[in-house]
Amino acid sequence: MSDLDATALRERVAEFLAGHDPATTERLDFLRARFDAGLAWVHFPEGLGGLGAPRALQAVVEADLAAAGAPDNDPRRIGIGLGMAAPTILTFGTAELKQRFLRPLWTGEEVWCQLFSEPGAGSDLAALGTRARRDGDDWLVTGQKVWTSSAHTARWAILVTRTDPDVPKHAGMTYFVCDMTDPGVEVRPLRQITGEAEFNEVFLTDARIPDAHRLGAVGDGWRVAQTTLMNERVAIGGRPIPREGGMVGVVADTWRANPDRRTPATHDRLLALWVESEALRLAGMRLRQQLAAGAPGPEGSAMKLAFARLAQSLSGLEVELLGEDGLRYDDWTPRRPEKVDFTGRDAGYRYLRAKGNSIEGGTSEILRNIIAERVLGLPSEPRVDKDLPWKDLPR
């Protein structure tokens, strides 16, 4: 662990900026150099975008670079890579995989997606049936994945498969990095209630994956996937935002701009939601402080659960405040966006898109079970299929 403190880190940032002026350095060259200088993820090891410094010091780097007008890596476009693939590769990847993938992942040169959910295995991920069979030094993968964000732009995917159907479902899974350009990978758009095709379904037909692209041991995919899922929920529900930032800021602005639409009832609802938003923001700060001391735990599930509920309540209130104007939805273009833009669209879009927040990244019902069992210590629900071989499970 580095002995860097905030003062020493600021000196490093100043030295870096002296050699890489954001005003004159090409954006991608700047991002690559920032990674090489250890200023991408300061808590990552040296040589992998970090300095082995405390995670909390990342905020120091971001603030100083932002003040200098430095470009960012467009984190919303590459959120799956940053929030899910990177920590999983760091934890379970070989030295070769870390060197190959982390730099272009962080700079945004290579977009990632997540091949987890299936038509019959969404909330119960361990029921998945996509099969991987060994073929020499490779694996051949056949199956279907669904609700895959960014699959249409992704170069790589994190993929969980079934490699042994003769053991209980949690024991026979194996985790890979999948090449989305392989001839055996087909991506089809799924049009949503917003009119966009942000999600996709992915069909794999003897998609070939080198064994060198396996993360973790054969049969240990469930443990690897837990690292991804815990980080996913923090990434969705625990992003840093300023006070009155995000959805609550949009709705508060709508309230201020429409004095004729205000009522005592909507005033009280907005105030209650503002307090909830602030409590969630502060809880997110605390969670990120806890992350500095170790890996994310089930607390991330609580953050994601609260985020989904709050986003839906706020978007619903905004539509009410706008009256008949809130019913308008002007753009039904079947676009395939590279990233979700909540605040840059109209109220109708936000209202419709927020409905997915309680499904994506773990349904709210499943997250409540996780919180009940792993945070509150309540008895778990009976699971009669826990010790049965996967092949014997009813489907």
Range name among 1-10, 22-31, 69-78 with the lowest pLDDT average = 1-10
What pLDDT does 56 receive?
81
| Residues 171-182 pLDDT 10s | 999 999 999 999
- The two three-digit tokens of residue 208, written as one number: 């070939």
Greater pLDDT, 345 or 25:
25
Q: Please, what's the b/e burial string for 172-196 (b: 16 or more CB within 10 A of its CB; e: otherwise)?
A: bbbbbbbbbeeebbebebeeeebeb
What pLDDT does 360 receive?
80
- Segment 243-268 shows an average pLDDT of 91
What pLDDT does 225 receive?
95
Whether the pLDDT of residue 298 is over 70: the answer is: no
Cα 134 from chain centroid (whole Å): 30
Whole-number average pLDDT of the chain: 90
What pLDDT does 328 receive?
79
What pLDDT does 240 receive?
64
φ, ψ (nearest 5 deg) of residue 261? -95, 0
Distance CA 292, CA 294 (A): 6
109 is a catalytic site residue: no
| Residues 138-167 pLDDT 10s | 999 999 999 999 999 999 999 999 999 999
Whether the pLDDT of residue 337 is over 90: the answer is: no
Contacts of 222 (CB under 8 A, 6+ apart): 126, 170, 171, 173
Range name among 74-78, 241-245, 284-288 with the lowest pLDDT average = 284-288
What pLDDT does 311 receive?
93
Instruction: Spot the catalytic one: 118, 196, 201, 232.
Output: 232
CA-only gyration radius of the chain, Å: 22
- Positive/negative CA dihedral, 149, 58, 224, 45: positive
Whether the pLDDT of residue 233 is over 70: the answer is: no
Nearest one of 316, 306, 283, 291 to 357, comparing CA atoms: 306
Domains of the chain, first to last = 6-67 (no CATH), 81-219 (2.40.110.10), 226-375 (1.20.140.10)
CB of 90 closer than 8 Å to CB of 98: yes
- Give the confidence band of 70 by pLDDT, cuts at 50, 70, 90: very high
Whether the pLDDT of residue 222 is over 80: the answer is: yes
What pLDDT does 367 receive?
84
- Positive/negative CA dihedral, 325, 327, 331, 335: positive
Nearest one of 202, 207, 179 to 111, comparing CA atoms: 179
Nearest one of 119, 41, 26 to 81, comparing CA atoms: 41
- Segment 348-366 shows an average pLDDT of 86
Whether the pLDDT of residue 9 is over 90: the answer is: yes
- Give the confidence band of 288 by pLDDT, cuts at 50, 70, 90: low
Query: Angle, nearest 10°, between helix axes 6-19 and 27-36?
Result: 140
pTM of the model: 0.86
Beta-bridged to residue 157, according to DSSP, are 113, 178
Q: Residue 33 class from Cβ within 10 Å (0-12 exposed, 13-18 middle, 19+ buried)?
A: middle
Greater pLDDT, 211 or 335:
211
* SS3 per residue for the chain: CCCCCHHHHHHHHHHHHHHCCCCCCCHHHHHHHHHHCCCCCCCCCECCCECCCCHHHHHHHHHHHHHCCCCCCCCCCCHHHHHHHHHHHHHHCCHHHHHHHHHHHHHCCCCEEEECCECCECCCHHHCCCEEEEECCEEEEEEEECCCCCCCCCCEEEEEEECCCCCECCCCEEEEEEECCCCCEEEEEECCCCCCCCEEEEEEEEEEEEHHHEECCCCEHHHHHHHHHHHHHHHHHCCCCCCCCCHHHHHHHHHHHCHHHCCHHHHHHHHHHHHHHHHHHHHHHHHHHHHCCCCCCCHHHHHHHHHHHHHHHHHHHHHHHHHHHHHCCCCCCCCCCCCCCCCCCCHHHHHHHHHHHHCCCCCHHHHHHHHHHHHCCCCCCCCCCCCCEHHHCCC
What pLDDT does 192 receive?
86
Most confident range, picked from 166-180, 237-251, 286-300: 166-180
- Segment 274-280 shows an average pLDDT of 93
What pLDDT does 1 receive?
46
| Residues 44-64 pLDDT 10s | 999 999 999 988 889 899 999
Beta-bridged to residue 202, according to DSSP, are 145, 187
Distance CA 250, CA 246 (A): 7
Greater pLDDT, 141 or 233:
141
CB of 287 closer than 8 Å to CB of 295: no
Nearest one of 62, 47, 43 to 1, comparing CA atoms: 43
Range name among 49-58, 185-194, 381-390 with the lowest pLDDT average = 381-390
- The two three-digit tokens of residue 103, written as one number: 């730099």
- Segment 237-253 shows an average pLDDT of 80
Distance CA 395, CA 392 (A): 9
CB of 174 closer than 8 Å to CB of 161: yes
What pLDDT does 232 receive?
67
Residues constituting the chain: 395
